[in-house]
Amino acid sequence: MIKIEDVYFTYPNGVEALSGVSIAIRDGEFVAIMGQNGAGKTTLVKHINGLLKPTNGNVTVDEVSTQKVSVAKLARKVGFVFQNPDHQLFCETVEDEVAFALQNFGFKKPLIKKRVTWALNLLNLTRYRRTSPFMLSGGERKRVALASVLAWNPDVVILDEPTIGQDHQQKEKLRQFIVQLNTQGKTVIIVTHDVEFVAACNPRVVLMAKGKIVTEGGAKETLTNRDLVAQASIVPPQISQIFFNLSDLKLPTNVIDIYDARNVFLGRLKGSS
Residue length of the chain? 273
Report the alpha-carbon distance of residue 254 to residue 126 in Å, rounded.
42
H or E element in which residue 33 lies: strand 30-34
Q: What is the pTM of this model?
A: 0.90
Tens-place pLDDT, residues 40-75: 999 999 999 999 999 999 999 999 999 999 888 898
Domain span including residue 257: 237-273
DSSP letter at 178 equals H
Task: Mark whether 161 and 81 lie in a shared domain.
Answer: yes
- Name every residue whose Cβ is closer than 8 Å to that of residue 242 and which is 6 or more positions away in sequence: none
What are the b/e assignments for 32-46, b being 16+ CB within 10 Å? bbbbeeebbbbbbbb
Tens-place pLDDT, residues 155-176: 999 999 998 878 888 888 888 8
H or E element in which residue 64 lies: strand 64-65
90 residue type, one letter? F
What CATH number is given to the structural domain containing 177?
Answer: 3.40.50.300
Average pLDDT over residues 208-224: 94
Task: Mark whether 245 and 217 lie in a shared domain.
Answer: no
Q: How many domains does the chain have?
A: 2
Q: What single string gives the DSSP state of each residue in 179-209?
A: HHHHHTT-EEEEE-S-HHHHHHH--EEEEEE
